[in-house]
Structure 1
Amino acid sequence: RCRGAMGAQASRPVAAVAVTVARNRLTAAVPRVVVGRGLATSIKGGDVKKRDVVRMDDGLWVVKSTRRVKPGKGPAYLQAELTALAGGVTKTRRLRMQESVELVDIDKALPYTFLFDSGDRVVLMDDGTFEQLEMPRDVLGLQHAFLTDGARVNVTALEGVPVGAELADNSVEATVAETGPNLKSTRASTSDGGKPATLGNGVVVSVPSHIMTGDVITVKVTADEV
């Protein structure tokens, strides 16, 4: 959800509104489980979900996506896209609904501070030890576009490898860099279908018709969507 706020170029009041924000296809592996020390519990293949960390084929894999498939003949199965924790190799695995799968717990999330980008990686500082950590940008997913100097990031890891990250404050302000004209009443809500708007960081969202270029909106951000 977002709420409109009057930007530097706007001279009119903007009421608080509910905004439907466009989904972005970019995703990141942010595990559901945030406590543990690499221990595993057994679950059914049909219960595996996106962001799980599973142990199979003598390795640890992060589940990027899942899709239930019901073929014309034979039983239904779960098709999972997996990324290796070590090396980043990806593969597709077909899981029977009732087969046993090892779900792995990961370490408790620890607080870090964002320092700077370094190519396709980000450099963070451990708030407790002040040691630096390099992490692939895609672990942050969409959140990377909203990073600012000194932003706090909670990082989860397994066997020392970062597998998930979330902004400590996932409600951020962003300026609308470009959007279409107001074609409807300023009292319009998301029921009017909205219109696309490009934020200053290049992310495209959907806003009510009365939101204009230069307005500031509050955006809720996760790794998978804005």
Structure 2
Amino acid sequence: MGHLVRSLSKHLPGQLDGLLENARFQDGAAALQRLVDPAHVEKALVRMSPEEAGWLADLLAERWSWIADVQLDPEVAIVAPDELWVGAEPIRLPLSLAAVGLDEGFEAVWEGAVLPGPPASSATLLARPPEGKAPGIARVRAQVRASVRGQRCVLIAQAQVALRRPSVVVSDDRRRLLAQDHTGRPAVGCRLEIGPDTHVTGTGGLVELEVPAQPGASLKLEGIPAGRIPGGNP
């Protein structure tokens, strides 16, 4: 969505060939000018869900195509999750690059929380368990060497992945379980395994059981071990 808006605000004024200078299109010109401001765009995107942003991007691209050819600037992004649950051991996760407008055969020099390796279009994220109660973040940067219509260029892509260590608080009657991460942030809409049974956490990371959980049953949050139900032997 952000890429489309940046490209639109850059190319559409020229494609309209002076029409925006006409007083009739004053409001439209002002709207396009606001899109030039990255802070304005970012503020709007933060308020949208991914589904809303996708719908709006499709609509903007369609309306743009009615007026002129859609021209997306070359751009590259790191394909990585927004967050990752990590247990006691580091996790390795493949990373790749998504590119628009680049010729075939680009490669990147990777930096940050990745395993060392030669320049390539992919890398491996090394997510280490966060320590203490401070938020954990894995930062990755890729310096992409590419070409656009035969012209060499260098693009920079960056990403950060929030690292969350699971914690589950069990009520005394073993019927209410509160899933959260090491900072106390609720784990909402996450998969909580209680022994052989799987549940999805609700508001506030809560799971309510009709019958008490079996003492000693293992707990896993998003597949990561998170202790056991108290009251039994491991």
Please state which structure has a larger fraction of its residues in strand.
1
Structure number with greater CO (CA < 8 Å, separation at least 6) is 1
Which TM-score applies when normalising by structure 2? 0.28
Structure with the bigger percentage of helix: 2
Q: Tell me the TM-score normalised to structure 1 length.
A: 0.29
